[in-house]
Amino acid sequence: MDSPTSRGGTSTASGRSSVIDSLRGCTMAGARIPKEELRQKITLPEYMRLAMKEAIQAKNVEADIVTQLYQTSHADGVASPESPVVVFINSKSGGRHGPELKARLQTLMGEEQVFDLSVVKPHEFVQYGLGCLEKFSALGDSCAKEIREKLRVVVAGGDGTVGWVLGCLGELDIQGRLPVPPTGIIPLGTGNDLSRSFGWGGSFPFNWKSAIKRTLDRIANGPIFRLDSWHVLISMPAVEDFETPHALKATEETPLDQELEVEGELAEKVSCYQGVFYNYFSIGMDAQVAYGFHHLRNEKPYLAQGPISNKIIYSGYSCKQGWFFTPCSSDPGLRGLKNILRIHVKKVNSSVWEQIPIPSSVRSVVALNLPSYGSGRNPWGNLKPDYLEKRGFIEAHADDGFLEIFGLKHGWHASMVMAELISAKHIAQASSIRFELRGGEWTEAYMQMDGEPWKQPMNKEFSTFVEIKRVPFQSIMVHGE
């Protein structure tokens, strides 16, 4: 296993502009890879592709057609491909490139190996597609066994799409169905911070038709790195109508960590939600702006035709929301988070919960896992050894078991941080976090995780808790550089 990528060490690469990333993509000499050579290297045997397709469509690995394909084809002594891959593509991402990329990928490998996420969901592939390989392997099919062991996954989409697929692949770890296939990325989103962090660039390359061959070859052969993921549990006074993002699912009432006592009374009835994030979780003004932009884009999709137009509209929307200009400081919705938020953490080299102060000027709090945030910036900064030692921090890595918690004061401060002229307000480095929110004059707060924002209802009498802990297993990523 290769050593993890240092967040500080990759900040320069992760901070490249989308234009530079696209130009860099032009240097990928995809034309030097013969199409037929690549096809032989990554394409599954036909009977295997068809069996997986039928199992997924029937939602049953025991379907008659699947069994027939095994009985008629497995004994032919078919050799397994050198580097088998399957692709998940969000064909709605990437503007006009999504459908074109899907067609291009289907010409470079078996059509059945390219899964459109609007048709086949990643959990269906995990349960029935990989289940088909595992069934054939158990029956003595050595080709299926080798493919299951060597298989790699490609995700063509934005950060949300990558996280969705990683979450479903993580179920393999829970079920003991190892190995978990490593994942590479073709960036089709706006920010593409996961893609940047693992060397796949921040935007879709201009010369993608030739570069895509090079990308597939790199995913098939690239080094393997690990990525922490983080479980979020929200426990809140019961509500009837709560619009949750895709990343959060309702769950049965789940107790909070008993090592940290809750002050005051708890609501008699609670609603619980849980989810997983890979890059960041935030509370405050940044999430409020993201929420507004998200709904604006859904209501008027013609305004957002690609990454550049998205960023222009996002910047304009930020100014409207009071992120840059605070027209009425008495409005409780514009006050610092200190008024509604308490933070407890387990720090580096400590297993004890500890409350940490929130600077009064902070209007957004972010818990960051990767070196890339907000389209490739590194707000935590490249901290010097003396400062790390003084604050009790360690050098940040994507697999170190810690989140970096920082604060943003307002839009102007955030802009300076995003330009990497200054670092954000360092608050803590933690292996576990508990946010406690109490409404008071506030009736709602805004939160987001990995770019999915939501409006969080709050109660004047009872607290809402957000508890974040590391998932016990790590995602397996293919690095592109």
Q: What is the pLDDT of residues 336-349, one digit of tens each?
A: 788 889 999 999 98
Res 273 pLDDT > 80 = yes
Closest by Cα among 397, 366, 377 to 8? 397
In the three-class reduction of DSSP (H, G, I as helix; E, B as strand; rest coil), residue 112 is classed as helix
Angle formed by the axes of helices 130-138 and 46-58, nearest 10°: 120
Nearest Cα to 437, choosing from 337, 288, 304, 323? 337
What is the share, in percent, of the chain residues with pLDDT greater than 90?
44
How many residues in total does the chain contain?
A: 481
How many other β-carbons are positioned within 10 Å of the β-carbon of residue 232?
21
Higher per-residue confidence, 248 vs 28:
248
- Rounded Cα distance between 213 and 195, Å, is 17
For residue 318, the model assigns a pLDDT of: 45
256-276 average pLDDT score: 88
Residues 408 and 414: beta-carbon distance below 8 Å: yes
Q: Which pLDDT does position 42 carry in this prediction?
A: 94
pLDDT in tens, 11-46: 334 444 444 444 444 344 444 778 889 999 999 999
**pLDDT over 70 percentage in the chain:** 79
Average pLDDT over residues 172-187: 94
* 327: pLDDT strictly greater than 70: no
Distance in angstroms (rounded) separating the CA atoms of residues 208 and 263: 56
User: Which range, 129-133, 159-163, 214-218, 323-327, is most confident?
Assistant: 129-133
Q: pLDDT digits over 44-96, tens only?
A: 999 999 999 999 999 999 988 988 888 877 555 678 899 999 999 987 765 56
pLDDT of amino acid 21: 47
What six digits make up the tokens of 359? 């600077």
Written in H, E and C, the secondary structure of 143-192 is HHHHHHHHCEEEEEECHHHHHHHHHHHHHHHHHCCCCCCCEEEEECCCCC
**pLDDT number for residue 57:** 94
- The full set of domain ranges for the chain reads 11-227, 230-277+280-368+380-473
Higher pLDDT, 360 or 108: 108
The count of other CB atoms within 10 Å of the CB of residue 84 is 26
First to last CA, the chain: 15
Mean per-residue pLDDT for 446-469?
90
User: How far from the centroid of its chain's Cα atoms is residue 297's Cα?
Assistant: 20
143-174 pLDDT, tens per residue? Answer: 999 999 999 999 998 888 898 899 999 999 99
CATH class of 230-277+280-368+380-473: mainly beta
**For residues 384 and 391, what is the distance between their CA atoms, to the nearest angstrom?**
11
Give the pLDDT confidence of 187-207 residue by residue, as tens digits: 888 778 899 999 998 877 667
Token output for 255: 């107790």
Residue among 235, 245, 239 at smallest CA distance from 159 = 245
Distances (CA, A) of 284 to 254, 288, 341, 379, 454: 25, 6, 10, 16, 11
pLDDT in tens, 219-245: 999 999 999 999 999 999 988 778 888
Phi-psi group of 108: left, alpha or beta (phi > 0 → left; psi -120 to 50 → alpha; rest → beta): alpha
Helix (H) or strand (E) holding 139: none
Among 57-61, 148-152, 176-180, 382-386, name the one with the lowest average pLDDT.
382-386
Please give the radius of gyration of the chain, using alpha carbons only, rounded to the nearest integer. Answer: 23
What's the pLDDT band for 122 if we cut at 50, 70, 90?
Answer: very high
pTM of the model: 0.81
Q: Report how far residue 325's alpha carbon sits from residue 334's, in angstroms, rounded to the nearest whole number.
A: 10
Whether the Cβ atoms of residue 90 and residue 158 lie closer than 8 Å to each other:
yes
- pLDDT, position 313: 44
Residue 121: its pLDDT value, please? 94
Full DSSP string of 398-412: TTSS-EEEEEE-SHH
Q: Please give the Cα distance from 220 to 216 (Å, whole number).
A: 6
Question: Residues 426-452: what's their mean pLDDT?
Answer: 87
Query: Lowest mean pLDDT: which of 6-15, 349-358, 452-461?
Result: 6-15
210 pLDDT more than 80: no
* Contact in structure between 94 and 101 (CB atoms under 8 Å): yes
Residue 41 main-chain phi, psi, to 5 deg:
-75, -35
Specify whether the CB–CB gap between 341 and 283 falls below 8 A: yes
